[in-house]
Structure 1
Amino acid sequence: MSESHFLVYLRNGSWQHSNRGTTSAPFSSRETAIEAAIEEARQSGDASAEVIVQDSETSTETVWRSGSDKA
């Protein structure tokens, strides 16, 4: 996992994302939260930024990496 990761997760019935102690919320859907996290990761300019979705306490998936076409 990158040191600069944006973690997307469901909490208290709404989707949110966090990065380095800053949380952005609420988002009405998983997809909206992912899109917002990707946009913030792109704007960060960090070449090692990643967006990771946590669907449960033990399941994570990297959905975007800086410099990749995956979105």
Structure 2
Amino acid sequence: MSESHYIVSLRDGAWQHANRGTTSAPFKSRDAAIQAAIDDARESGDPAAEVIVQDPETTAETVWRSGQDN
């Protein structure tokens, strides 16, 4: 996994994303947190950046990788 991975999660009833110890929150929705994480990942310039959603059941899903068109 890249050092530029952005983890989107629900904590204390609010969506957030974290990267390298920095947390951005709160977001009103899961989608808003994902979009903000994707924007930050794109801006990082890391060609291996990833956005991963950690759901409450502790499963993780990669929803974006650098170089994808979405």
| TM-score for the superposition, normalised by structure 1 | 0.92
CA contact 2:16–2:27 (8 Å) conserved in 1: yes
**Cα distance in 1 between the residues matched to 2:59 and 2:4:** 19
DSSP 3-state at the match of 2:23 = strand
**Number of positions where the alignment pairs a residue of Structure 1 with one of Structure 2:** 70
| TM-score for the superposition, normalised by structure 2 | 0.94
DSSP 3-state at the match of 2:32 = helix
Question: Share of identical aligned residues, percent?
Answer: 71
Report the CA distance between 1:57 and its aligned residue: 4.8
Where has structure 1 moved over 4 Å in runs of 4 or more? Answer: none
CA contact 2:3–2:20 (8 Å) conserved in 1: no
* AA of the residue aligned to 2:13: G
Cα 1:28–1:41 change in 2 (3 A) is same
